[in-house]
Amino acid sequence: MMRQPVRLTLFSVEEATRVALEIRPELVRLARCNREFGQLEHRIEVLSLAVAGASPENPDVSDLERLVTRRDQLRGEIRSGIEAVQRRGVLLKDVAKGLVDFYALSGDRLIFLCWHMAEPEVGHWHTLEGGFANRQPLKTSERE
């Protein structure tokens, strides 16, 4: 099987902010879908136990089937939404928080510009190994 080469998109702070604001509505939608998915998973788990051995005519069985269908639909929506975001060169790190990273260069070092959907602009960065907990504010000169 031939593997496709990985295409790395490098962003300036300005480009990352523009893309972040463009994808914010999709991230909000994905976070909402993710919450509903989690709630459905819990309800399905409980209802599955309740209908164990029940006849197909039991109304809870049809409720379970409806919930499973909706969960599977959400799974597909989430997957396609993540793929759409990532096709833009953005790494979606946390669907629930709308947390994304953008590859960027700082001098000759590859870093991540870090943003989540509640922020007004891209204002932080971290190393490739660092993660959200280790992010640091961009200096004013880096934002320009």
Give the pLDDT confidence of 59-115 residue by residue, as tens digits. Answer: 888 899 999 999 999 999 999 999 999 999 999 999 999 999 999 999 999 999 999
Residue 120 maps to a domain: yes
Residue 42 exposure: Cα atoms within 13 Å on the Cβ side: 5
Residue 8 maps to a domain: no
- Tokens 């523009």 correspond to 18
Assigned token pair, 9 = 């998109």
The C-alpha atoms of residue 30 and residue 81 are separated, in whole angstroms, by 7
**Is the distance from CB of 111 to CB of 125 less than 8 angstroms?**
yes
Residue 105 maps to a domain: yes
Residue 38 maps to a domain: yes
Residue 6 maps to a domain: no
Q: Domains in the chain: how many in total?
A: 1
pLDDT given at position 100: 96
pLDDT-wise least confident of 21-25, 93-97, 129-133: 129-133
List the domain range (segments joined by +) for residue 76: 13-143
Q: At what angle do helices 59-87 and 13-50 cross, to 10 degrees?
A: 160
Our separate counts of H helices and E strands in the chain read 3, 5
Residue 5 maps to a domain: no
55 DSSP assignment = -
Name residue 36's beta-bridge partners.
none
Q: Is a pLDDT exceeding 70 seen at residue 125?
A: yes
Residue 7 maps to a domain: no
The C-alpha atoms of residue 72 and residue 14 are separated, in whole angstroms, by 37
Say if pTM beats, i.e. exceeds, 0.75.
yes
Model pLDDT for residues 26-56, shown as the tens digit of each residue: 999 999 999 999 999 999 999 998 888 878 7
Residue 106 maps to a domain: yes
